[in-house]
Structure 1
Amino acid sequence: MTAPKTSKALKSSQKLSQLVKKYYKDIHEAKAQGKKIVWSSGIAPVELFHAMDLVPVFPENYAAACAVKQISQDLQYYAEKAGYISDLCSYFRSDIGHVLSNCTYLGGLPKPDLLVASRNLCTTHVKWFEVLSRYFNCPLFVWDLPFGTLNKKFAPEFHRLEYAISQLHELIKVIENITHCELNTWRLQEAIFLGDEAARLWIEINESRKNRPAPISCTDMLGNLFVLVTLSGTPIAVEFLREVAKEVNNRVSNKIGIVSQERFRLLWDVMPLWHHMELFDRFQSAGAVFVVELYNYGRVWGQRLDCAQPLESLAKRHLTHMFNIDMDSRVKLLREILREFQIDGYVNHVIRSCNVLNGSTLHLANKMKKELGIPTLTLESDHCDSRAFAPAMIENRIQAFLELLEANQ
């Protein structure tokens, strides 16, 4: 079912592969030099890590990279042979398989000195990192971010914010014990300043997709998210995103789109199929362009930071993530996104190994279909486990969805 590719990555985005290779090389060199390594869940105060000279490593990113490289299946077999059933998160199984098999892709991941897991977004993270803590005999800190609601200004409740800030103070103490260095306020402010600039650029790039035709593809956006997850708070992230923003703005000025004729504007919910990213080209071959992915549009990466209140702004950013707020708040945000980006269709990826998100995302898609009459497509597969990918079934559903969009238009 693979369609001919109808778009190429932006020239600026093509530098990402070099940046990724350099990142993995750098973390191994840092370990060899005696720097402390933290393995963290993807939703993390990465700017704080950089400010405290703690080298951040993200198993989820590595699992996604392995899936793109088509080696995650082998890693999952190692995990399953060790007793971890296939119903568990495929990010988790890929990571455990990488540990058990001593995977050498990109050099593997250097042994951690600290583990940091967040309760927001995914309940699996805590148990996943408990397993890693036992395996590496390594301390684990769980950043407890309570689920809640947002007010009319999309801000979290005061008591949630205060609690999250207190958790950050505890994390700082743990890091100081690991690194034997106290937090330098100036370095934290510098990292927050750089993180804020990266967020500003990310918002600018995302907002550009409101234009017709959309100037940047979802493949570029999902790949470039790596920079924000791992390097926010560093000059490298700012420099890279400035180049992307400059190219995107030039494309907007010259009305250069992802496809020659943009017919439908789509929203993608939850993680992509990292092992079959060409799926997006199938849509683009029909003139259907994804202009929003809730996975990377969530307010963690699109949330500005404040140097004057570094810990408060970090806490606020994570408390307002799309997947860490109640359903009413999500619906309000989603209505706004669908209207502003002029969405014609809603594609929901139901992930076989992620029951935590499936219920809420199906509810959102159904609610938007009933309220706004937006055509929806449900694709059942998995983000890292290619065994859940059924090409013929998915092709049939995509074709029927495109015909529905055509009829609506």
Structure 2
Amino acid sequence: MADNFTANPGTGGDTFAADDVAGVKYPYSKLDIGGDGISSPVTAANPMPVTGPVTDAQLRATPLPITSASAYAEDTLHVTGAIGNLMLAIRSDTDTSTADDGDYTILKMDEAGRLKVAVQPAGYPLVTGTITSASSAVPSKVSRVSNVMVYVVGTFAGVNFTFEGSLNSTNGTNGNWFGIQAVRTNANTIETTSGVLGAPPAYGWELSVNGLNWFRVRATAWTSGTATIQIQPGAYATEPIPAAQISGTQPVSGTVTANIGTGSIAAGTNAIGDFGIQYRSTATGAASAAPVTSPATPAGQSIKGSAGRLAGYDLHNAAVTRRYVKFFNATSVTMGTTSALFEVCLEPSQARTVNFPGGLGFSTGIQIAVTSARGLTDNTATGLAAGDVTGFIASA
């Protein structure tokens, strides 16, 4: 049948839009949101108004669809324009809890927008076990542990246990085990066993377990009672447990042999051996200083009348021309004949200071002379005046 119908068909009434369903007419209607005496049809430009926020219950009543445009399979490559769901994080300047134990929570960021990660070392629970026989053992997994503290409590008698580690055990029982050192907490005492105990001791034991997979305390003796072993793993990275420190007086044994020939060494300024660098000619073991004032006529001046060492000098030339200081390995000098060992040139109105660590050796004696010309045997006095060269020379 036709959907629409005409009112008063005999007199030519109006035609109404309708939908015919099994002979029954369902009229079509348009919404109008005008008030009394006002018409305001609902259109795209005049939509139906909705007031009031959507409640949480209303949102939960209808599941929110997630389209395939925002869901990706594993290993999907990134493409420009991909749509996804934003993952939020909370800014948390302080390290306080933002969720109860067992609740879901979200990522935390610091004040600079960086993801917060753990700044505290991992905490490990106390591992406990009992020794009730001479074959009891208390193991602890230590593959992620640096060191352990061990203590024993309870009521027991005749208990002795050893400290052992394993590289290949998978359950704390199987595998190969070997002894490791423990250090008492109250003394520099290294032990591989506890010794026979009849009560909890006044100390515990600290052990390095770096590199081990498992650690255990294994009984080697037991008489009665229950000894509860407490093992506290430590997360802090530490150096291996140091060996006992040497303290007090330590005994020394053996024989020391010294040979000084047929002579003897007297107390005082005598030295054992000559290493070639000491000044030992005086009672104090120091060098001696001899003052220098050059004469107007070149002549030898004795610095030391026997073999010795030239330790240094501090000399000043007051003249307006060069002066030459000659050093002789002799106890007396004939000017113009005796050859100097070496000579030093002093520039006009200049000073010169020289030190010889260990000294320069003179096998006979030390003499000096001042001339106005260069040459190891030169005796020139031209222009010389008394006191042209002054200062001191150190020898030993």
Q: Tell me if TM exceeds 0.5.
A: no
Greater relative contact order: 1 or 2 (C-alpha under 8 angstroms, separation 6 or more)?
A: 1
| Structure with more of its chain in strand, by fraction | 2
Considering fraction of residues, name the structure with more helix. Answer: 1
